[in-house]
Structure 1
């Protein structure tokens, strides 16, 4: 879908600002600009709900280090993921393409090497690139290793079928710390470090003291284990037991937050804090029966597709920014390139189409606001096929057939409880969102997907089955 005339004008101003900022940055860097560019640390925390962070007003102190990071830079209150499960969302994060275009939408899919990733662009521009990942989908067999000098997925590859009950943050942190220390002692080339943290993903079994931190008085029998496939956690469970499950989820967030703090402390130790852009985000959220389901990958309501997004660099990004305008997961990769002064490749869609990510570096570095008419498309093809189209005020969700859709006025009904599509007649804003969905479908049809079959193994498939992703 094209931007409106006013949107095109505003985006043209923003694009010009980004170009000027990038040019000024490159001039300021001097002749050895590749080595003077800032580092980039991109942290994706799997299954992290936006509304369970202190910075977003949550009533529990789940995220002191993440909150501190957010206050030091820009916090985007309305960031929307491209999907509600791990694989397609992370492909979007690293390619700036929505699922309808990259095509990696099923557990057996992998990103084709013809796709251009953020890591490849940075690598081609002199960055040392490394990734440390956990969980079953952020694996080289799903195509995520391209562009990385070092791609370490051993934490996720060596665990057993119950690995969703493991705690991966300690091992992950030790590998990251060793790499950062070694890199600092070896050379001064800028680095791109991608870190995928898995522990917030179910099962919810944080270690002491996090297991009782937010619900010390619970005396029931419910645990956070076997969250997806077990029978104890269901829509009819008692309110008190569900509160305990959510407290365990919050404990996982606080536990993971402590390791975010440890990574940031290593940056301090090696003298890299001021020259490192730090981004914290998530692939999707988690639902606790707000709409009848648990976990993720089953719906496209905001509890699963609205995600945190924080971008900080103390030496360049003004602290305390809270950006209310809606942005997308697909905007992160182009924004990274804008912040480091690398021109956008055509594959990242440096155009006005709504189907690809946009560079938001100008709003972060200046007083420009992001374009207020960005539309977020989300896609799901795991258990059922669903699409959603969301602007800042309203949301259209299609489930399966052409006439099976829902419509919500988010300004009046942020919990998405009052389906306006069930009322008589379709409101005008609903027709506009439905037209945006049609435009996205037509745009995607003209572009072949960057998808191939993943070379899965029987142990890998067994692990996905244990997590409930495949039958």
Structure 2
């Protein structure tokens, strides 16, 4: 019996291997943090925050590795005759697996460097973009918090790590095994060097905690600054909000927020699809200056995000996003202590994660919370408990017809060729989704009110949605007003209540306007303008041109520019899904024809393009390359982002 019990008792060599794996995991985390901090150009407080975040990721990895290795050793000791060798082989396999993941992107780039461009995947601009994709997508998906969610949902996944470490360990673990066994054999003749491993553990713990301590000691003052809650509701048309004139009552909580603060009457987005528009609103720079044009482009490390700016001022930062385009693989994790993706795209799950974080946040540190809601985006599937009045006038047959299409372009064809009742049903389902988001926002606003901490709340959208205007449906192709006019609500301490500010503005203005309300300096290179002065004085915004661009589905970028009086639209001619989409270049007189019905192109009194375009579109940047996997490509095609 004693001999059988000893079979399951860890040996000295196994303890040493486990402690070695712990130190290696932490060291790899430190190296990753140093690499990220250097890539972002961080200094001071942000530098130590990046290292602390890397250590935060390394610690769960180390603990998970130890637990999985222990489970594997226990299982294999039951089955195999030589447990010590197998245990060390497994540990070596874990290290080899980590090295394989880190070395795979450059290896793939080397292998594909000589391939002709036409043989690369359709979304890979070049081999470097493929390597960048693996580094960003694979690295982000293997974050510990994502793994814990996956393991909790699917316990069988805990068995998967048995295979790779065993195979890799058998291949790569021969030399380390011999070295450690010989060292162990020598040491067993003398007194074991437990003092060495004690120092090892102490050094590992110090390495884990030092960046966090340095983060706190270098954190700038500003505990009296208000929190910032930045909310983006994907695909929310301006005219769906009650505060912008919709009488149907879809958005009572947004209307309540508008009554407490400022409403930007003429806010427009710089694009009509998610990635480029969010990149602009969170950096204060137009998408083309960031190099964001297609689904293969990611936010470059050189871009200074709102999260980075507030983190540098001592804010704790947290984000909840519901789409890949606003997630860490596309560079939107910059500046966030943590960014989560809920288990569903429902607003209730997004708010639940936000409430959980707010309950655990440090009370004496200002917080920046970014929430992205995806509900109004197609597919239109509101929750079952929406009020009957929202779907009044629709039939079950029409609702099934709208829901049965699994591709956005198929739905567009069905709406364009179907009866008017089908479009009305799609719009009713869309409004029901907006009502569901507003309900959850009411829950969040009530919690913020109960907490009693001052907070600036911003609500906006990345673009709108078309329901037959100009014979167009959905978004992402044209730049008509129904696609680019979005709500802009700001409320909080010092912001006047009940004001409506008119004048040309763009979502790139939200970044500098928030910094203006917080009395923080403006970083260089912003395209946006600080609107805080006009809000305080209740004055119209000064005359200026704002613009936007789509380049994801067209060979030639589609652009617009407007000063609220005139609007220039570049027009488009593109075949999408083997169907032509053509709109002529146009000048619209918005002051007289807000519906963009009469084309004044070629008339003598229109503004001069040779003076307008260089001012708006001259700065052409270069984004960070991202390549999309086949599964993600199919998903984006279904959503209508790709032809």
Partner residue of 2:416?
Answer: 235
Q: Distance in 1 between matches of 2:294 and 2:276?
A: 8
Q: Distance in 2 between matches of 1:345 and 1:288?
A: 39
Q: Kindly indicate whether residue 510 of structure 2 is the aligned counterpart of residue 332 of structure 1.
A: yes
Structure 1: state its 5+ residue gaps. Answer: 1-31, 159-165, 349-355
Deviation at 1:211, TM superposition (A): 7.1
Partner residue of 2:431?
Answer: 250
Instruction: Tell me: CA distance 1:141–1:211, structure 2 relative to 1, closer, same or farther (3 Å).
Output: farther
Partner residue of 1:451?
Answer: 623
Q: Distance in 2 between matches of 1:374 and 1:276?
A: 30
Work out whether residues 106 and 382 of structure 1, in 8 Å CA contact, stay in contact via their aligned partners in 2.
Answer: yes
Partner residue of 2:290?
Answer: 102
Work out whether residues 378 and 408 of structure 2, in 8 Å CA contact, stay in contact via their aligned partners in 1.
Answer: yes
Q: Paired residue for 1:202, among 370, 378, 389?
A: 378
Partner residue of 2:327?
Answer: 139
Q: Kindly indicate whether residue 539 of structure 2 is the aligned counterpart of residue 363 of structure 1.
A: no
Structure 2: state its 5+ residue gaps. Answer: 1-219, 574-582
Deviation at 1:116, TM superposition (A): 1.0
Instruction: Tell me: CA distance 1:329–1:434, structure 2 relative to 1, closer, same or farther (3 Å).
Output: farther
For CA contacts below 8 A with separation 6 or more, give which structure has more relative contact order.
Answer: 1
Q: Which runs of 4+ in 1 moved over 4 A?
A: none
Across the aligned residues of Structure 1 and Structure 2, the Cα RMSD in angstroms comes to 2.0
Q: Distance in 1 between matches of 2:572 and 2:254?
A: 37
Deviation at 1:450, TM superposition (A): 4.3
Deviation at 1:33, TM superposition (A): 5.0
Q: Paired residue for 2:457, among 237, 256, 278?
A: 278
Count of matched residue pairs? 408
Deviation at 1:189, TM superposition (A): 0.9
Work out whether residues 136 and 464 of structure 1, in 8 Å CA contact, stay in contact via their aligned partners in 2.
Answer: no
Secondary structure, in 3 states, of the residue corresponding to 2:223?
helix
Q: Kindly indicate whether residue 292 of structure 2 is the aligned counterpart of residue 292 of structure 1.
A: no
Deviation at 1:236, TM superposition (A): 3.0
Work out whether residues 228 and 368 of structure 2, in 8 Å CA contact, stay in contact via their aligned partners in 1.
Answer: yes
Partner residue of 1:301?
Answer: 480
Q: Paired residue for 2:567, among 392, 395, 401?
A: 395
Work out whether residues 116 and 347 of structure 1, in 8 Å CA contact, stay in contact via their aligned partners in 2.
Answer: no
Partner residue of 1:427?
Answer: 604
Q: Distance in 2 between matches of 1:220 and 1:179?
A: 40
Aligned ranges 1:56-95 → 2 under 5 Å? 56-95=244-283
Partner residue of 2:398?
Answer: 222
Larger Rg over CA atoms: 2
Q: Give the structure with the larger strand fraction.
A: 1
Q: Kindly indicate whether residue 557 of structure 2 is the aligned counterpart of residue 377 of structure 1.
A: no
Q: Paired residue for 2:612, among 396, 412, 436?
A: 436
- TM-score in terms of structure 2 length: 0.61
Aligned ranges 1:112-127 → 2 under 5 Å? 112-127=300-315
Q: Paired residue for 1:406, among 576, 586, 590?
A: 586
Q: Distance in 1 between matches of 2:604 and 2:398?
A: 44
Q: Paired residue for 2:234, among 26, 32, 46?
A: 46
Instruction: Tell me: CA distance 1:117–1:367, structure 2 relative to 1, closer, same or farther (3 Å).
Output: same
Secondary structure, in 3 states, of the residue corresponding to 1:389?
strand
Q: Give the structure with the larger helix fraction.
A: 2
Q: Distance in 2 between matches of 1:211 and 1:37?
A: 40
Q: Distance in 1 between matches of 2:254 and 2:610?
A: 36
- TM-score in terms of structure 1 length: 0.83
